[in-house]
Amino acid sequence: MKKYSSEFFQIGVGVLLASLGLKVFLLPNGFLDGGVTGIAILLSELYGFNISLILIAVSLPFLVMSWFTLSRRITIKSVVAIISLAIVVHFENFTPVTDDKLLISIFGGLFLGAGIGLTIKNGAVLDGSEILGIFANKQFGFSIGKVVLFFNLILFSITAISISLETAMYSTLTFLVTAKIIDLTIEGFEDYVGLMIVSDDSNTIEEQLIGVIKTGTTLYRASKGYGKRGARKERDIIHTVINRIDIRRTYRLIEDIDKNAFIIEFDVNNIKGGLLKEYLNKENIKTLLPTWKLD
């Protein structure tokens, strides 16, 4: 019960942030965001529809899609979130704080992105374009990101034709800011990368990663392989995850030990547990490497 209360509280905060982005920045100046919110704003601008009612109406097909594509729990929470957003937008009467178009695009996207991101992080959806992307991915194998991008490309093209090219350009900027803030809200400000390292000096590299970079490692045993030096026998492969800020230092460390080391770098979307978020102290390192001597 406590968990659900926390989730709905954070969804409420997300709804409030998103509504601030809409009422304080975007709506008074006719700027759009991407996705379903952008469609609702566009229809409201063109035909004078009530933004709250049109937001619910446009979201309905995507919520039905969510019922069959995602879980019912996510759909129910999304219904609550979208209706709450429509109510708050309808009754909220904040005064616009600026008429500078660049500031409107940036801060409107910032508030809207923070609100959508916080809502998604707690298991609900404020915008249906992501649901469309998931549905298209499951049914036809299309990339979710490409579906969302194509969806918004059509929306901003219609905006450029029906309203103005300038509005479409500023709305595109708003969408880009929103998308980035959503990522930061969901994934956090820490950016991690994974490394897979193949080297004849894997033991030394592992010791230095733990002792100098202060990160945990996992070793995989490779039975055989083939590379530029021909067939290779059994060896240890190092798998580790580090903060991106340490990437150059890590590469230099590996090159100092083995210039011919084979390294694969890949993005890490989410992590939990392990030693990654904690600096290793001497006791940790002694446990991991009992034969390694410390100063």
Q: What is the pLDDT of residues 9-67, one digit of tens each?
A: 999 999 999 999 999 999 888 888 888 889 998 998 888 889 999 999 999 998 998 88
pTM of the model: 0.70
- Is 95 a domain residue? yes
Domain that residue 204 falls in: 192-288
Q: Which residues contact 31 (CB under 8 A, 6 or more apart)?
A: 25, 41, 101, 104, 105, 108, 167, 170, 171, 174
Residues 165 and 209 in one domain: no
Residues 130 and 23 in one domain: yes
Hunting for tokens 């030693």 — which residue is that?
Answer: 275
Q: Residue 73: pLDDT above 50?
A: yes
Alpha carbon of residue 84 to chain centroid: 23
Average pLDDT of 178-184? 84
Least confident of 46-60, 113-127, 155-169: 113-127
- Is 27 a domain residue? yes
- Is 294 a domain residue? no
Average pLDDT of 215-219? 88
Q: Which residues contact 123 (CB under 8 A, 6 or more apart)?
A: 7, 73, 74, 77
- Is 293 a domain residue? no
Rg (CA), the chain: 25
- At 197 the three-state DSSP class reads strand
- Is 72 a domain residue? yes
Residues 255 and 155 in one domain: no
Residues 222 and 179 in one domain: no
Cα separation, 216 vs 239, in Å, equals 9
Residues 273 and 153 in one domain: no
Residues 54 and 169 in one domain: yes
User: Which pLDDT tens digit goes with each residue over 231-289?
Assistant: 667 788 999 998 777 888 899 999 999 998 989 998 776 676 665 544 444 444 444 44
Q: Please give the tally of structural domains in the chain.
A: 2
Residues 167 and 231 in one domain: no
Mean pLDDT, the chain, integer: 83
Residues 6 and 93 in one domain: yes
- Is 229 a domain residue? yes
